[in-house]
Amino acid sequence: MTSKETILADTESPVGATVRRFDLLAKAVGQSASSPDDSPLSRASSLPQVLGPTLDFADVSLILGRTTILDKVTFQVRPGSVHALVGPNGGGKSSLIKTLLGQMPHQGRLSLQWPGEPGTISYVPQALEFDRGLPMTVDDFMAAMCQRRPAFLGLSKNYATAIGEALERVGMQDKRKRRMGALSGGERQRVLLAQGLIPPPQLLVLDEPMSALDEAGIRVFERLLGDWRAAGITVLWIEHDLEAVGRLADQVTGLNRRVLFDATPQQALTPERLLTLFSTHPRSLA
Ligand SMILES: Nc1ncnc2c1ncn2[C@@H]1O[C@H](COP(=O)(O)OP(=O)(O)OP(=O)(O)O)[C@@H](O)[C@H]1O
Ligand SMILES: [Mg+2]
């Protein structure tokens, strides 16, 4: 099997890869109202086997104005692994992801090694900022995100099935005709997860996907994570819930402007390491 490497230069997005992403980062979405429907858990579908890429961050720095946001960040994400990125607020986690997606300039070397032809990267953003008054249904949103044809023409046949399945997997099938603005924060988060499933990615980048989810939503997410791991998808996952990281990740990188540790959850999530990671303000790191 041939291996293709994509090296990302300053401001470059992953050449040759299909990158699906939002350009809007957002204010925090509200806490979810309870949504008891977790029926997809009992009928999870298995995903086709893929081989995700390897990600290599080598001395990646990001300097905006006079501020160093990322300082010589070096670590590797193994193919098919669930790799968590943890650290304090403002530590540079989202910025690192935006650098990976080509939305921010960087210094250093950032490369993706694909096992074959460059594949699809999906991105689930930290939150979604949009006008709650917009007359946009869940279906409209999914159509706008997933298909090329304009959303006002409705769902193309090709995508209607895939979109239906994705919404089913996150337990939102019965809310397809709801306005996005009428959804709870947790329901919106589920829709964001659903759009990340189409087309099926080889690399999935998740920025705090659990932050607004309720209990049922968290169970849906955990099931999805299990499916992605079983399918061989590489998952880079920013998460504040350290208990979930300890349970579900294969590897954990602690980031506070620079990499403070990169190890298995058992080795990484020790009280000493977490204290060092979370007790230092990014600005005070010399
Ligand atoms: N476009 C920008 N211009 C200037 N500074 C920025 C920009 N984007 C982010 N920053 C700064 O970079 C630092 C890192 O922000 P980032 O959003 O990457 O942190 P984070 O680790 O994702 O935090 P959180 O856990 O709160 O989401 C912050 O100090 C932030 O203010
Ligand atoms: Mg962030």
Distance 17 CA to ligand 2 centre (A): 24
Distance 80 CA to ligand 2 centre (A): 23
What are the tens digits of pLDDT across the range 137-179? 999 899 888 766 565 666 677 778 889 999 999 999 999 999 9
Which of 53-57, 114-118, 201-205, 247-251 has the lowest average pLDDT?
Answer: 114-118
In one letter, which amino acid is 25? L
For residue 89, which ligand has an atom nearest its CA? 1
Distance 70 CA to ligand 1 centre (A): 10
Is residue 194 within 8 A of residue 20, CB to CB? The reply is no
Q: What is the pTM of this model?
A: 0.84
Question: Rounded mean pLDDT of 50-75?
Answer: 95
- How far is 48 from 40, CA to CA, in rounded Å? 18
What are the DSSP calls for 177-233, one per residue? TSBGGGS-HHHHHHHHHHHTTSSPPSEEEEESTTTT--HHHHHHHHHHHHHHHHHT-
Share of the chain above pLDDT 70, in %: 78
Which residue's CA is minimally distant from atom 4 of ligand 1? Answer: 64
CA nearest 115: which of 33, 234, 34? 234
- For a mutational test of ligand 1's pocket, the pick from 27, 61, 93, i.e. the residue with the most ligand atoms closer than 8 A to its C-beta, is 93
CA nearest 218: which of 176, 190, 238? 190
Is residue 88 within 8 A of residue 40, CB to CB? The reply is no
Which residue's CA is minimally distant from atom 5 of ligand 1? Answer: 64
Domain ranges of the chain: 4-127+183-278
Q: Which residues surround ligand 2, an ion (CB under 5 A)?
A: 94
Token pair 């010399």 is found at 286
Token pair 């249904």 is found at 137
Domain 4-127+183-278: CATH class, spelled out:
alpha beta
Residues having CB within 6 Å of any atom of ligand 1: 64, 69, 87, 89-95, 126
What are the tens digits of pLDDT across the range 1-38? 445 666 665 545 443 455 544 433 222 222 222 333 33
Is residue 129 within 8 A of residue 27, CB to CB? The reply is yes
Distance 142 CA to ligand 1 centre (A): 28
**Range ranked top by mean pLDDT from 39-43, 82-86, 176-180:** 82-86
What are the tens digits of pLDDT across the range 236-263? 999 999 999 999 999 999 999 999 999 9
Which atom from ligand 1 is nearest to the alpha carbon of 92? Answer: 18
For residue 240, which ligand has an atom nearest its CA? 1
Q: Where are the alpha helices (DSSP H) in the chain?
A: 93-100, 138-146, 157-169, 185-195, 215-231, 242-248, 265-268, 271-279
- For a mutational test of ligand 1's pocket, the pick from 60, 66, 69, 256, i.e. the residue with the most ligand atoms closer than 8 A to its C-beta, is 69
